[in-house]
Structure 1
Amino acid sequence: MNPVRLVLASSSRYRAAQLSQLGLAFDTCSPAVDEASFPGETAPALALRLAEQKAAAVANRFPDSWILAGDQTATCQNQLLTKPGTLANARRQLEHMQGQISEFYSAFCLRTPTGQHLQVVTTKVVMRPLELPIIDRYLAAEQVLDCAGSFKVEGLGIALFESIQADDPSALVGLPLIAVAEAFRQFGWQLP
């Protein structure tokens, strides 16, 4: 039997759309967590910490509910890639990533009344060499200021890549649905 309430600890429309793919009914709640990294914190450790903190923050407001939270970080040439916030930052990120291998770390925390599951899934992407006019055309075509790495792989951003190496193709969007579905099943939630 599935629990009465599931809450997605996120204000991300991307994560909500992904979770909807699993056919689950859920509420959303913004966790209001400071997403700044600690000195020396690795990108995967940051993603895991933030996912866990977001789940804990929302669990305080919804006791006895199942809480799902996620976070994604990325690196390219040992530089942390964040949500760009501005077009200038997005352009700099894409220029930095072009022709390079980047790693994306998609973490999630599933918190239930009986325990929690915390996991990070890594995706490697190779961006093709890009000239500045291509970057500018892409940034004019797609809103990416709230996307780590300054692209949307589920949209036109796929055209920027040479390859993607992933065990879970949904992870690059932000929520690794294969791992999330398995975590739900481990806690007894019935999924197909």
Structure 2
Amino acid sequence: MNNKTSIKLILASSSVYRKELLSRLYIPFTIISPDIDENPLQKETPEETALRLSTSKAKHISESNPGFTIIGADQVCSCDGILIGKSGEFNNAKKQLQFMSDKRVFFISAISITNGNKTLSSSVTTECKFKHLSDDKIEHYLQKEKPYDTAGSVKMEKLGITLVEYVKSDDPTAILGLPLIKLTEFLKEFSIISM
């Protein structure tokens, strides 16, 4: 690993979950929250949305921070071809989970890393099969977790794991919002880490 004082890394995110995930790599970084429009574009696939937003976040922060390497990330949730965003509150979250009950749901986690000259981007899709969710189970989960700031109202790292029959992914951290396997590959290419 490089000398810590020489690393200039910024996570372009306001997510406490992504901050915790990046901290697992034991590299110093700072956080700047990107202020961009996160609405999907018409006819955009979920993967295209996630990749565009992660790249936009990284490049937006890069413009005002020359000399830094920036990580942008985004996650979108898709069920029956419909994008499911952050609920923001209890009633919306309940409707989201009622809709996802008994269905396969896809969480697309995208990352982009840029130094202003070079940009690398990738996405990882996690497939989840949701159990049949009774209103009682949904309400109990929402009252305990209050997951209103996550795509699809699911905190898989906590009680959200009880809502699913299975989780399939090439990267177990992707469902949490920051695919660390791909990210470490990118960080090596940018000489942020050497392992």
Match of 1:24 in 2: 27
Return the offset for 1:4. Answer: 2.9
Match of 1:62 in 2: 65
RMSD: 1.2
Q: Deviations for 1:50-69, whole angstroms, at most 9, x for unmatched residues?
A: 00110011001211100001
Match of 2:190 in 1: 187
Q: Percent identity?
A: 37
Match of 2:158 in 1: 155
Distance 1:120 1:70 in 2: 9
Q: Deviations for 1:23-62, whole angstroms, at most 9, x for unmatched residues?
A: 1110000110000111111111000000011001100121
Count of residues paired in the alignment: 192
TM-score (normalizing by structure 2): 0.95
Distance 2:130 2:41 in 1: 28
Return the offset for 1:85. Answer: 0.8
Distance 1:115 1:178 in 2: 20
Query: Which of 169, 174, 187 is equivalent to 1:171?
Result: 174
Distance 1:91 1:191 in 2: 45
Match of 1:84 in 2: 87
Following TM superposition, the consecutive aligned residue runs of length 4 or more in structure 1 with deviations greater than 4 angstroms are none
Query: Which of 25, 33, 37 is equivalent to 1:34?
Result: 37
Q: Which runs of 5+ in 2 are unaligned?
A: none
- Aligned residues of 1:181 and 1:191 also touching (Cα < 8 A): no
Match of 2:106 in 1: 103
Q: Which runs of 5+ in 1 are unaligned?
A: none
TM-score (normalizing by structure 1): 0.96
